[in-house]
Each structure stands twice: as C-alpha cells, then as structure tokens.
Amino acid sequence: MMSNLIALQSRLAQTDCSALLLPSSDEFLSEYARPRDRRLSWVSGFTGSMGAMIVARDAAAIFVDGRYTEQATRQVDSERVEVCGFGIAAQVAWLQSRLGAGATLAIDTRLHSEQELRRLSDALRDARIEPVLQPRNLIDEVWLDGRPEDSRASVFDYDVRYAGLPREEKIATARSRIATRGQSLLVVADPEDVAWLLNIRSNDSREALARQSLSDPVSQFRVPVPLSRVLLPAEGAPLWFMDRSRLEPALIAALEGMVTICPPDDFDAALARLAEGQRVAANVRRTNHHHATIVQSAGTLENDAGVVAARGIKHENEIAAARHGHKVDAAAVIRFLAWLQDSVGKGTVTELDAAEKVTRIRAEHEEYLGPSMSNLSASGPNAALPHYVPSPDTNRVINDHPIYWLDSGGQYLGCSTDNTVCFAVGEPERKHVLAHTLVVKGWLALGRARFPEGVDSSQLDSFARQHLWHHGMDFRHGTGHGVGNFMNIHEVPHIRREIDHPAIAPIVAGMIISNEPGYYEEGDFGVRIESHILAVPSQFPGYLEFETLSTLPLDPNLVDETLLDRSEAEWLAAYHDRLVDGYRDMLDGPSLTWLENIAGKFRAMALAKGA
Amino acid sequence: MMSNLIALQSRLAQTDCSALLLPSSDEFLSEYARPRDRRLSWVSGFTGSMGAMIVARDAAAIFVDGRYTEQATRQVDSERVEVCGFGIAAQVAWLQSRLGAGATLAIDTRLHSEQELRRLSDALRDARIEPVLQPRNLIDEVWLDGRPEDSRASVFDYDVRYAGLPREEKIATARSRIATRGQSLLVVADPEDVAWLLNIRSNDSREALARQSLSDPVSQFRVPVPLSRVLLPAEGAPLWFMDRSRLEPALIAALEGMVTICPPDDFDAALARLAEGQRVAANVRRTNHHHATIVQSAGTLENDAGVVAARGIKHENEIAAARHGHKVDAAAVIRFLAWLQDSVGKGTVTELDAAEKVTRIRAEHEEYLGPSMSNLSASGPNAALPHYVPSPDTNRVINDHPIYWLDSGGQYLGCSTDNTVCFAVGEPERKHVLAHTLVVKGWLALGRARFPEGVDSSQLDSFARQHLWHHGMDFRHGTGHGVGNFMNIHEVPHIRREIDHPAIAPIVAGMIISNEPGYYEEGDFGVRIESHILAVPSQFPGYLEFETLSTLPLDPNLVDETLLDRSEAEWLAAYHDRLVDGYRDMLDGPSLTWLENIAGKFRAMALAKGA
C-alpha cells in the first residue's frame, strides 16, 4: 500500500495540482464498487465500504465515519496517512491546515453525483481552494500492474417468471412518462435501474460462488448486474451501452429490434447528441457529475426517479419467486442455527467458521446463486458494531460470549435474501434478554402493523423503536430498506427516522422491505433480528399490512415472557408452529428437532400468558 | 349581504379590473381575523374560518374546502354567488370560464404571504389572466357604514411570572441570532410573536367575556394579543409599531428606554429605511407579500422562524402557570359534565345550551379571562364534523343521540386551555364504543410514549393512529398542535402525518402540545378526546416523556375493556383515581360523586384485567 501511495504522490508532483480527492465510489456511484474500481483501497489499504482520501504531494488523509475509525487506523500506514472524520467540512479543514489558501484539488467528476460535487465545490471555493474538475483520475495512470480485470461474467435474459413485467412494457411505461412531461430523453445511469428496465442480469454472483474461498466471506459477493447505462429517447429504440461480447446469444436474440446495443465508450457522445436542445430526465442522485454536465451543456436536466420507484413495487411473479426463495434460504439458515448450537456444545467455533458454514449450507441447494452480501457474523463486542464483517484480525471465538448474530443472504432467481438471526450460545445475562425482547417487540409491532396505503415510510419507523425508547434505548441505523430482486439487496424505500432522507417514500402494496431493529452496547454486545416483509392489502380497503417473507426462528432463551403481552406471545407461538410445519420437509432430523424444541418453548410462553 | 355584494360590484365597474380576489385572511395573516377585517364575510355572508371569493362585475364565486361546502351553500346568495372547491386551481378555472384570457384580477398584497401570492400569480399568468398587485382593497372604499371599530382593549405588561423570561433576554437572544448570521434587521410580523417577544398581552379576551352573549359562543372569543409588528435592528432599540393610546401606563413605563413605540402607519417607511442594502430576517410564512416586497426592493429577505420556534418551548414559569390553569379549567369542565349527565336525564339539552353552560361555569372562576376558542359542542351527525360549531340553524338536541363531544377552552394568565371531552348521554351502540376505545388507546399510546429528545414531531403521529388503523379506521386532522400561553391556542409544533408540513419540528422538553385523536363517521357520529401534554425529561437521559396537563375524565361506558391490555386498564384506573384526589376540593358534592363513580368503573375494569 505504501508503495502505491508513493507512486501516486510522485505522479501528482508532475501535475499542476496540489492534491487529489479519492472517494470510495465508482463512476456508476455503486454501493459496492467492483475490485478494479476500489481506488481508495488500492492507495490506502482501507477496505471499508465508505470513505474518502485526499492525497497531497507529501501528506495524505483518509476521511471515514465513526464506525470505521478503528478499522482505518489499523489498515492505513499511520505514518503517512492521517485518519479524520467523514464529510466535506473535515476535508476542507484538512486542506486548509495542510495546504492553505490557493491550493488546487483534482476531483474526478465521474465519481461524484452532481449534487455532492456542487456542495463540495462551494465549500472549497469558500476556503479559497480551487477544485479542478475533470472526468479522469491520476490513479488510473499509476495503477496498471495487477489491477483486476473488468468482469467478464455473461449477461442473460432474465425470464419474466422472475422479472415480472416484460421489458417492452417497462420501456413503454418509462417512455410514456417522459413524453407526458414533455421530455425527450431519459438517462438511466444506475446499472440496477438498467437491469430492471431491460430484464437482464449477469452471472457475476454465480462466478463469485464458483471461485469463492468460503473462508473469505467478506469479499466474495458480487451484485449480479452488469455495469451499464441506457439512453431512452421518447421516440426510437433505447440505446444500451454494454459490451456486446458478454451477452448470451439468447439475450441478443431477444433484444433484436427492441433495444440497440452500443459500445460503452460511445455513451458520452450519444448523450451529448441526444440531449442537444432537449429536456432530459435523469435521477440526479445516481447520475455522475460528468454526465450531468454533458446534459446541462447541451440541454436541460430534470430530476426523475421514476425507474427506481417502479422497481420498488414488485410484480406478482416477483412476489411468488420471493416467497419461494425466502423459504429455500431460511431452511438453510435454520440448518445453520441447529449446527451452531450443536457445534458450540462440542468445541470452539469462530465468527469466520460460522460465516463459512452458512455459505456452505446455502450452497448445497441447487437454486442458490451466490451470496447477496458479506456474511456479518458477530459475537460479543463485535456484535455491538451494526456493520461488522469478520476478518482474521478481529475473528472471535463464538463460545466466549453468550450473544451471537448472523446477518447474511443469498441470491436466487427472483429473490435476494438478507436476514439476521440472533441466538444465545451460552447463558445470557439479564441485559441481553431485555435488549433482545425489546427488539422482538419492535419487530412484532412493525411486522404486525396495519396502516393506510400511501403512508410515508418514515411514519412506520417509530413502531419498531417504541419499546426500546421506553427503556431509554435505541439503535442508530435505519429500521428497514427496500430489497432488490436478484440484485443489490438495498433499494428504495427505506423505513427510517430521517423525514428528509431521499429514500423515504409512500408505502404501497407490493413493496418488499426489511424489518431489522437492533440494539448495540458499545464494547459489550449487540442484538439484531431481520426479516423481509411484503406490503399486502388487508381485509380493510385502503389499508395495508405486512406478510413476513423470511420466516426464521427467534431464540426463546433471549425472550423475557413477562415483557410480552398476551397477543404478542400468541403470535410468536403460532409463528413458530407455522415454521415447523412449513420447513418439515426441508430439514434434516436434528434441525427439525431443534426447531420443534424452539416452537415448544414459545407455545409454553403463550400458555403461561393465559392463551 | 346582497346589497354589500352589489355595492362592491358597482365600485368594481368604475375600475380597470375585471375582478377582485378576497381571501378570508387579514393583513396580519391571522388565523382568526377581527370583525372589521372579515371582508369575505361582509360581502358573502359566509362565516367559516377559511375561504376565498372572487367578485367580477356581474358574477361571483366563493371557494371553500369540503368541510364548508354545505355551510357556504346555506349562507351565500346562491343566485349571485357560485360555491366552488378550495384552492388556486379552482379559482383560475373559474376565472377562465367566466372571464376568459386577458382578464385582470385585483389582489390585495397585504392579505397574502409572499409564497402564496407567488404561486397564485404564476398560475394566473399561465392562464393569461393578469394579476394586479396592490396593497389596497376596493372593499375598504365601500365598507364604511357599520364597519366594526378596531379593538380598543388595553394592552398590559405580561408579568414574567406568566411570561417566563424577561423581555430584555428574549430581545437579546433574537438580536444575537441575527447578528451571528450577518443580518441587520429582524422583521417580527406575526402579532403573536410580538406579544411573546415583548411580554405583552391585550384585554381583548376579557372584554369579549364582559360583553359576551353566552348563548352566542361562536363569535365571542378574541385572541388576547394586539395586532402589531416589531422591527428589531441588530443594533439599537426594537421599534414597536403600536397605537400608544392602548398601552397601560405601567407598560409604557416598563418599556421606557428599552423599546421604542412608533405609530403603526410608519411601519412601511421604517421597514424600507432599515432594510436598505441589508440582509433582513423574517418569517416568510407570516410576512405579507406587501412587506416582503418592501424588503426585497431595498435589501435581501432571508427566512427566519426563530421567534415562533422559541415561543413553542415553555419556560418553567409558563409551565407552572399551565399546570395551575389546566386544573382550574378542568374542574369547570368536570362540573359541566356532571351537569350534562344530570340534565339530559331530566329534560332536553341542545348543543347551544351546553355550549353556553360550559362558558357560564368557567366564568364563575375569578381567574377565567374569557374563551380561548369557539365552543365546539357536537351531537350525533354534527359530531362527525371535526370542526363543527353549533348555530341556531344546526342546533341539535343532545338527548337525541347517544354520542356528544365538547371541544372548548379558556384563557388564564399563563395558560390557554383547549380540551375535548366525549361522553355518552344514552345507550351507545357497539360501533360507538369500538371507535371511542380505539381513540382512547391511541391517546394513551401518545400520552404514555417515551422517545429521544429531538425526534421529529411527525414520528409520534402514528402512535395515536395505530389502533384505529388496525381496524381500517383513521381521522383526517392532525393529532396535535402546540399551544399558546394566554394567546392563540394553535402554535408550532404540530404532531401530524405530513412530513413536509411547516409545523413539523423536533420535540424538546418544555413543549406543550395537544393530544387529540378522533374518529368521524360522516352523517352518523364522531368521537374525539383531547388533552394537552407537556414534554418533560424522563428517567433516561436524552429521552423525553409527556406529562398530561389537562386531566379530564373519560367515559367508561364508551370503553370496551376487552380491547384494553392490562397496562392500559391499570393506567386508566390510576389516572381517574388521581383525578378524584386532585379535584376533590374544587368540585361540588354532586360533581365529585359523579367523578368518583367514573373512577370506580375504571378501577373495576383494571381488576377485571387481573390488576
């Protein structure tokens, strides 16, 4: 890493710029950048999902939020790189103190959204630091040897059995929306929007599965979507900027006459040509500054998040596939849990052992197409970090602490899963049981809620927090997020407190959202449970309720029945009885016995409450 | 009314304008305009609180929202005035169909906020109708005879025992905030902000009480605040534009050397002079377009709602006065309820009878300073209208329907009350008990909530609705509003669903808010209960809870104990026991007996739940 930083600084000294800004994002503003785009990691050694670095000729700093401070300090060369807080203010302050007024900062306009870069440029100019905005990056001149190749995973026609609507219908709807608004062009700059719109997916996750090191659960997963963009004119075929050689022949045939496949390098020129003098729709949060500038130079840019909004409302085919995929996946997780309880009774199990095991069990099923996320396998104090991913450095023996949780998921045709189970592997303390019971009560309150269709998603957030709040407790992450279909597990809408968050949206039938309250006591322990819930019509017209898609057991040893009301206890008993019935044919004998034992304990709790 | 309209139309024919817009607001954008400013009512006969009228030379229309359609139809001369839906679109559509393109519409810029008038002007120009914006009104040229005088009620020094902080501290804080922002002037255009900032109140409500016709509860109340404005320069004394002759000598003495009293007519010139070349802070939602234009012509207008935000957080003196005032007021309401139950057993009681009675009982207490609102006294189908105010036209006999509610309040030094009680005066039906019980459960959920300080007020809204939602029911008004201190009962913050509503604010300790869920079945019945709750620190640092300030009994005959959980039943029993103890010395024998009987029924309910 040190030599990478030095190489970059040497190259920087040959330019007119005083420093260079390196965000963790790629030019698609992806949540998970592919390895060849992890420039920040290559220069710094930092592997967290979010951060930024400023490299000057003889100084450097990395900017990370609180959850990554410790990890960054451990991973970077602390003699050469300062670890600072996240955000524009910290970056500007560092530049002012290190370089002073009059400095110039090179910024790659492909790696920032329009909105973000406008704010940053304003702050820099206020501090008399000159941003140098260009759609290129010095790192790309020095990171040559050993830079990972682009994905070559094939791209296939995603069958409507899993995709829902045919692509021609989705295209027609998008086209008619922009036409209604008098716009001439829709820029689809988010690869996930493209995959949804064109009904295509890639074999990236299958390949990741095939080549995976199961003991390295962290970096193995890939979003099964090719990095590509679409230009959809109000008239004429959509232009898909995608490497044709990766497309399966059947897909090429299916797109014939409907979608024009163009070389990715032609995108900028085509955008400039089609935007000329026109009103252009684009999701400004997912269109990078470079492309936004091309549009603004040629025509008018108008914000439109219509594709991502449509993507969040699942078709009946998607819902049927999700019900099936969640069942297959949950059976694997139940087998894992039974294995875990058995194994910690016989010997030591580490977080990484467990992370590997759950992937192995999932991989036994023929429908499993790879992991949907890193396996967050967390014990004791590590479990107090909501986004903890185990590594050899941090790997704990699960037996050493009563509380363990696993947040993991798989890819299936029609379904991406992402669930969290939390179990005691030893004798839990009173505080563990209290925290977990309050989390369960919040999970029940959200999962059992009934509400008017169209309620803003933020309105449901406090249901999940209310019981924690009552004890002066809370959690600092969102309560839930929309979930992709064989795609990125994170989508619009989110259920969260922040009423001005861009992912707050009205809840309508067909949305699949995670329900994942937790509680974290720093340096001590943490608990979280997570399932996916589907908004469905209730018996009352105009009112929705949730169907729990990922039905996984809770740990009765972590539930204080005196804190449950009777209807909660009855609901939990019936839920676990349904689990036994539903998974009976999918479990081996010991796993089924283990699950029956759990269900029995919840039945006993309900009886004790007078049910 | 007809002759008023004709007089206005004759005058209009002598001008260049095709039509005239008349909103219900006054030049202070008051929620409740004083009688001399009720121009809309003078022309149309419509007495509702919100609406607008367009008068053309030989046509006219009134624009009201759904709740007022029936009332407007009854009150206006329907041969001359069309009744239309509320809002800009309806107004523009009417102008287009009646007058066509090229028409001109006179608009009094004093009666609209900047924001509202910008939207209206844009819509008019799109429809090729020319707005003629002037700070004057044709009505003021024809409404001469019989126009009510301005209030002459005296204005007094509002003691810090009730006001909380001394005025010099409030002024210093406001001044330092604008100075920090580099602003040179604060425009305080809202008379309620002025009253809070300068610690002044008027005797308007006392006078209203003195001259009231108790059988006319509708129009008797006045907000005890003079209509005035302040200009607060970053340096130098604040200028209070107020008729000096209304000020009590003690107030003039108290303000000496601290506040400069200026003739109201000098306001525009002073504003133009002080704004010249300066950055000027003003609450744009409460500053009329005429004054906003003066600022924008001279300098820069910057939005600042700091005074109204500070006003919503009560000082310990205000809180002590509120606790006391609510107790005095609730004792009167309890006496009223005991009287009502007794009286409907002996003979007929109408909505207006009841409205008069509660005011008479309140007025027996020496601390009562007049009503804080119209008495919303509602039975049966009238109770299905959340904002129903009885009139001789609509007056129902309460005995004719089992459900009755009364939403009323009084003014006291340091406290404005506003509470709703709902009782059965006959045998309630199953649907009445269900609706009321669900409303009680929501009222309990909000009133008993504990939550992190600073949570957005919208986050608490769903607590009050959740039990109704579960049965496919809801109510269409906000759950709560901030409450003034011997002032307008409506303030910031509101607890409501709409996350983009301007009155949504973070909840902090010291806020007093109403808790008023309801349920309304059109044409059939309605229920509501309302109390005021104070945000106070809980036993957990950083977490707040509510103290119920207005403790009023619920009707046990309208509560289905099978729908309560045990902790709700226990809470209700303890609450009513506290009422008996708390009001024992303030009630006559029959009222106390009546209250004891209520408390006994709630105790029995708790026992039945196993308490």
Q: What is the pLDDT of residues B344-356, one digit of tens each?
A: 999 999 999 999 9
Q: What is the pLDDT of residues A475-495, one digit of tens each?
A: 999 999 999 999 999 999 999
Residue A611 lies in a domain: no
Q: How much is the average pLDDT of B73-78?
A: 91
Alpha-carbon span B475 to B485, nearest angstrom: 27
Smallest Cα distance from A288 to chain B, Å: 28
Percent of chain B topping pLDDT 70:
98
Q: Do B543 and A461 touch (CB under 8 A)?
A: no
Alpha-carbon span A485 to A488, nearest angstrom: 8
A438 interaction partners in chain B (CB closer than 8 Å): none
Q: What is the pLDDT of residues A534-553, one digit of tens each?
A: 999 999 999 999 999 999 99
Residue A590 lies in a domain: no
B138/B178 same-domain check: no
Q: How much is the average pLDDT of A580-594?
A: 97
- Whether residue B214 is predicted with pLDDT greater than 90 in this model: the reply is no
* Other residues' Cβ atoms within 10 Å of the Cβ of residue A156: 20
Q: What is the pLDDT of residues B154-181, one digit of tens each?
A: 999 999 999 999 999 999 999 999 999 9
Residue B148 lies in a domain: no
Domain end residue (candidates: B121, B142, B163): B142
Smallest Cα distance from A476 to chain B, Å: 12
Instruction: CATH number of the domain at B174, please.
Output: 3.40.350.10
Q: Are A444 and A568 in contact (CB under 8 A)?
A: yes
A96/A219 same-domain check: no
Residue B576 lies in a domain: no
- Whether residue B2 is predicted with pLDDT greater than 80 in this model: the reply is no
Percent of residues in chain A assigned helix, strand, coil, to nearest 5:
45, 20, 35
Q: Name the residue among B451, B466, B497 with its Cβ closest to that of A469.
A: B451
Domain that holds residue B76: 2-142
B303/B321 same-domain check: no
Helix (H) or strand (E) holding B438: helix B430-447
Q: Does A471 touch chain B (CB under 8 A)?
A: yes
Smallest Cα distance from A499 to chain B, Å: 6
Residue A607 lies in a domain: no
Residue B403, CA distances (Å) to A89, B169, B265, B522, B534 in order: 59, 49, 51, 14, 29
Confidence (pLDDT) at B324: 98
Confidence (pLDDT) at A48: 84
Smallest Cα distance from B474 to chain A, Å: 8
- Whether residue A368 is predicted with pLDDT greater than 60 in this model: the reply is yes
B456 interaction partners in chain A (CB closer than 8 Å): 497, 499
Q: Does A462 touch chain B (CB under 8 A)?
A: yes
- Whether residue A236 is predicted with pLDDT greater than 60 in this model: the reply is yes
B28/B163 same-domain check: no
DSSP of A265-291, one letter per residue?
Answer: GGHHHHHHHHHTTSEEEE-TTTSBHHH
Confidence (pLDDT) at B210: 77
- Whether residue A1 is predicted with pLDDT greater than 90 in this model: the reply is no
Q: Does B562 touch chain A (CB under 8 A)?
A: no
Residues 483-522 of A with CB under 8 A from B: 497, 499-500, 504
Residue A608 lies in a domain: no
B342/B222 same-domain check: no
Percent of chain A topping pLDDT 70:
98
Q: How much is the average pLDDT of A523-528?
A: 97
Alpha-carbon span A177 to A304, nearest angstrom: 10
Q: How much is the average pLDDT of B5-14?
A: 95
Q: What is the pLDDT of residues A152-184, one digit of tens each?
A: 999 999 999 999 999 999 999 999 999 999 999
- Whether residue B586 is predicted with pLDDT greater than 70 in this model: the reply is yes
Confidence (pLDDT) at A378: 97
A115/A173 same-domain check: no
- Whether residue B215 is predicted with pLDDT greater than 90 in this model: the reply is no
Q: Do B463 and A458 touch (CB under 8 A)?
A: no
A441 interaction partners in chain B (CB closer than 8 Å): none
End-to-end CA distance of chain A: 62
- Whether residue A191 is predicted with pLDDT greater than 60 in this model: the reply is yes
Q: Do A450 and B472 touch (CB under 8 A)?
A: yes
Confidence (pLDDT) at B208: 76
Confidence (pLDDT) at B66: 81
A392/A460 same-domain check: yes
B462 interaction partners in chain A (CB closer than 8 Å): 451, 455, 459-460, 462-463
Helix (H) or strand (E) holding A534: strand A531-537
Q: Do A472 and B504 touch (CB under 8 A)?
A: no
Q: Do A471 and B565 touch (CB under 8 A)?
A: no
Q: Do A458 and B459 touch (CB under 8 A)?
A: yes
Domain end residue (candidates: B519, B538, B561): B561
- Whether residue B602 is predicted with pLDDT greater than 80 in this model: the reply is yes
Minimal-distance CA residue of chain A relative to B543: A472
Q: Name the residue among B462, B474, B567 with its Cβ closest to that of A462.
A: B462
Minimal-distance CA residue of chain A relative to B538: A472
pLDDT band at B315 (very low <50, low <70, confident <90, very high): very high
- Whether residue B20 is predicted with pLDDT greater than 90 in this model: the reply is yes
Quote the mean pLDDT of chain A: 95
Confidence (pLDDT) at A209: 77
pLDDT band at B50 (very low <50, low <70, confident <90, very high): confident
Smallest Cα distance from B499 to chain A, Å: 6
B423/B547 same-domain check: yes
Alpha-carbon span A283 to A429, nearest angstrom: 48
Q: Does A540 touch chain B (CB under 8 A)?
A: yes
A95/A167 same-domain check: no
Domain end residue (candidates: B311, B334, B353): B311
B469 interaction partners in chain A (CB closer than 8 Å): 449-452, 543
Helix (H) or strand (E) holding A443: helix A430-447
Instruction: CATH number of the domain at B527, please.
Output: 3.90.230.10
Q: How much is the average pLDDT of B525-531?
A: 98
Smallest Cα distance from A377 to chain B, Å: 30
Q: Name the residue among B458, B469, B567 with its Cβ closest to that of A543.
A: B469
Smallest Cα distance from B450 to chain A, Å: 5
Confidence (pLDDT) at A65: 87
Alpha-carbon span B605 to A518, nearest angstrom: 35
Residue B347 lies in a domain: yes
Q: How much is the average pLDDT of A229-247?
A: 97
Confidence (pLDDT) at A2: 66
Q: Which residues contact B245 (CB under 8 A, 6 or more apart)?
A: none
Residue A591 lies in a domain: no
Q: Which residues contact B235 (CB under 8 A, 6 or more apart)?
A: none
A162/A270 same-domain check: yes
pLDDT band at B213 (very low <50, low <70, confident <90, very high): low
Alpha-carbon span B111 to B411, nearest angstrom: 28
Quote the mean pLDDT of chain B: 95
Confidence (pLDDT) at B47: 86
Q: How much is the average pLDDT of B86-93?
A: 93
Confidence (pLDDT) at A221: 82
- Whether residue B10 is predicted with pLDDT greater than 60 in this model: the reply is yes
Of A272, A273, A247, residue with least CA distance to A260: A247
Confidence (pLDDT) at B207: 82
Alpha-carbon span A434 to A559, nearest angstrom: 8
Q: How much is the average pLDDT of A566-579?
A: 97
A285/A320 same-domain check: no
Q: Does B466 touch chain A (CB under 8 A)?
A: yes
Domain count along chain A: 3
A458/A385 same-domain check: yes
Q: Does B469 touch chain A (CB under 8 A)?
A: yes
Confidence (pLDDT) at B216: 53
Q: What is the pLDDT of residues A393-420, one digit of tens each?
A: 899 999 999 999 999 999 999 999 999 9
